[in-house]
Amino acid sequence: MERQVKRQYDTSRRRAAAQATRQAILDAARRLFIERGYAAATMAELAERAGVAVDTVYTVAGRKPALFLQLVESAISGTDDAVPAAERDYVREMRAEPDAARKLRRYARAVREMHARLAPLLLVARAGPPEVAEVWQGIARRRADNMRLLAADLAATGQLRDGLDLEEVADVMWATNSPEFYCLLVEDRSWQPEHFELWLADGWCRLLLA
């Protein structure tokens, strides 16, 4: 019995140490990419900042595009790991909510919180090489697919404006919930994030709901 407890303890300790190493690498990568830019950031400097060997960075996080993707996924989910859209708390809350306007207000809050984390990475992506653009485009395509699901969820409430095409609803949501749109108003035009959230929810309700 004592051996079993010891093995469990050792396994838990190794798992915690591995997670701490991974988080140190991700934290160092985020700071380095934002400070130096993607192209100028080297894996050697990243490893030094994280306090690990270069080989450890590749083993734990992969090459630079994979590392950047992990940072984006973490910013989207608000956790240390990627979380599928259907498993995020705000998505579950929206699906359980029968009122379309309250769905949209909840989503506007999620967008504001998410993009506060994503905005610095968007600036990195804008100045990055094609491999970074590919990561960002992949996220944008996935977001478009998710907006089709949201459009169908809104339609199921029976509260959409008459005559709206679901693809158009999805495209409007996709364009206005983008980190690029957030940065235009919050970063470039100095809107307060909370004001952006309220304005976005109100705009969606006016555009899309009866």
Compute the distance between CA of residue 96 and CA of residue 157 in angstroms, rounded to an integer: 11
Task: Name the nearest CA neighbour of 88 among 111, 116, 70, 120.
Answer: 111
As given in the structure block, the two tokens for residue 145 are 């697919």
Task: Give the confidence band of 5 by pLDDT, cuts at 50, 70, 90.
Answer: low
pLDDT digits (tens, 9 = 90+) for 17-71: 889 999 999 999 999 999 999 999 999 999 999 999 999 999 999 999 999 999 9
The predicted structure's pLDDT at residue 198:
98
Q: Between residues 147 and 2, which one has the greater pLDDT? A: 147
pLDDT digits (tens, 9 = 90+) for 151-203: 999 999 999 999 999 999 999 999 999 999 999 999 999 999 999 999 999 99
Contact 204, 104 (CB under 8 A): yes
Position 6 pLDDT exceeds 80: no
The predicted structure's pLDDT at residue 127:
84
Span 135-145, average pLDDT: 94
The predicted structure's pLDDT at residue 179:
94
Position 204 pLDDT exceeds 60: yes
Compute the distance between CA of residue 201 and CA of residue 49 in angstroms, rounded to an integer: 40
Task: Give the confidence band of 1 by pLDDT, cuts at 50, 70, 90.
Answer: low
Position 118 pLDDT exceeds 90: yes
Position 116 pLDDT exceeds 80: yes
**Cβ-based neighbours of 60, under 8 Å, separated by 6 or more:** 18, 21, 22, 25, 52
* CA distances for 206 relative to 40, 100, 201, 210, angstroms: 44, 12, 9, 8
